[in-house]
Amino acid sequence: MKFNKVIPTDRLKPYIKYFVVSENTLESTYTIFPSTSLVIGFQYKGQLFSIEGDTETNLNTAGITGLMNRFKLFRNTSGIGTILVYFTEFGLSAFTHCPAHELFQQSVSLDVIFNRYTITETEEKLALAHTDTQRIQIVEQFLLSQLKDVQPDRLVLEAVKLIYQSQGTIKISDLNTQLCISQSPLEKRFRKEVGTTPKKFASIVRFNAVVESLNNAKSLTEIGYSHLFFDQSHFIKDFRQFTGTTPENFRRTL
């Protein structure tokens, strides 16, 4: 199995965290947990399915997945190869006028937000590429061709910064106060740029901070209280929503 991270060209760094070249010779079912990145995927070989209960949906070979507030199951066929594009928290808005929140909890075809012809042309080039370097360059060319001359919303940037500084524990009322804006207009601007509300985004940031904490020797009680959960039942309930399991069981898999 291959999972190689690649840093984007300088022109794309403000908008793209990194690329991933992912390949698997075996059929596999796996779980994706919520993160703060919208993700584009170009499959240059093999097929990918999303799983909901007993239903499998064959995903388009070029697609995008929005932010999620719960885990999601996928299955790949053997011999799959994919280029993944991980956006910064506000990166998608530099490439499309599509409001990011319309993609929340969705995995949809990339032609929902980009021109079908341009996507097909990119996929044809990927099919002919022989190296990972060539594939990354092709995807970068696609992204650069879609890049728009827009400035990110500075208020939203500051909101994201404050949420990260608190590891997702900041109260939304405190966030509004610090930014000198009421909840409704902030929420509207934040959803459009980032893909969900400040409250849901903060919960995703807190979840990922908790996962990092599970790697150290702290007790689950200490971790729960350090991330400002009211009690253990609140901690376990939130964690189960994101992962489908308890913090204790999740820790055993690390």
Same domain, 38 and 132: yes
The reported pLDDT for the residue numbered 135 is: 98
The reported pLDDT for the residue numbered 190 is: 98
CATH number of the domain that 243 lies in? 1.10.10.60
The reported pLDDT for the residue numbered 150 is: 87
Task: Name 74's bridge partners.
Answer: 30, 50
Same domain, 95 and 162: no
Domain count, the chain: 2
CATH number of the domain that 75 lies in? 2.60.120
How high does pLDDT run on average in the chain? 96
Same domain, 111 and 215: no
Same domain, 84 and 205: no
Same domain, 218 and 102: no
Q: 147: closest CA among 12, 46, 5?
A: 12
* Crossing angle (nearest 10°) for helices 154-165 and 198-213: 30
| Strand ordering across the sheet containing 72-76 | 28-32, 72-76, 48-52, 55-58
CB 5 within 8 A of CB 18: yes
Same domain, 158 and 116: no
Same domain, 21 and 128: yes
The residue among 114, 146, 178 that closes a domain is 146
CB 209 within 8 A of CB 227: yes
pTM for the full predicted model:
0.95
The residue among 146, 177, 197 that closes a domain is 146
Buried b (16+ CB within 10 A) or exposed e, 163-184: bbebbbbbebeebbeeeeeeee
The reported pLDDT for the residue numbered 155 is: 97
Rounded CA separation 254/249 (Å): 10
The reported pLDDT for the residue numbered 218 is: 86
Strands 62-65, 28-32: parallel, antiparallel or unpaired by DSSP?
unpaired
pLDDT digits (tens, 9 = 90+) for 74-121: 999 999 999 999 999 999 999 999 999 999 999 999 999 999 999 999
Structure tokens given for 43: 């499959």
Structure tokens given for 100: 């990011």
The dihedral sign for the CA sequence 240, 211, 157, 150 = negative
List the domain range (segments joined by +) for residue 106: 2-146
Question: What is the percent of the chain with per-residue pLDDT over 90, rounded to a whole number?
Answer: 95
Give the residue carrying structure tokens 């309930």: 237
Same domain, 234 and 181: yes
Residues 6+ apart with CB under 8 A from 128: none
Residue 47 has pLDDT above 90, yes or no: yes
Distance of CA 252 to the CA centre of its chain: 24
Same domain, 137 and 159: no
Rounded CA separation 67/76 (Å): 21
Residues 6+ apart with CB under 8 A from 206: 167, 168, 169, 227
The reported pLDDT for the residue numbered 116 is: 96
Percent helix, strand, coil in the chain (nearest 5)? 45, 20, 35
Same domain, 87 and 162: no
The residue among 146, 171, 192 that closes a domain is 146
Strands 48-52, 72-76: parallel, antiparallel or unpaired by DSSP?
antiparallel
Same domain, 90 and 199: no
pLDDT digits (tens, 9 = 90+) for 193-222: 999 999 999 999 999 999 999 988 789 999
Q: What angle do CA 53, 239, 191 make, to 5 degrees?
A: 80
Same domain, 175 and 244: yes
Residue 131 has pLDDT above 80, yes or no: yes
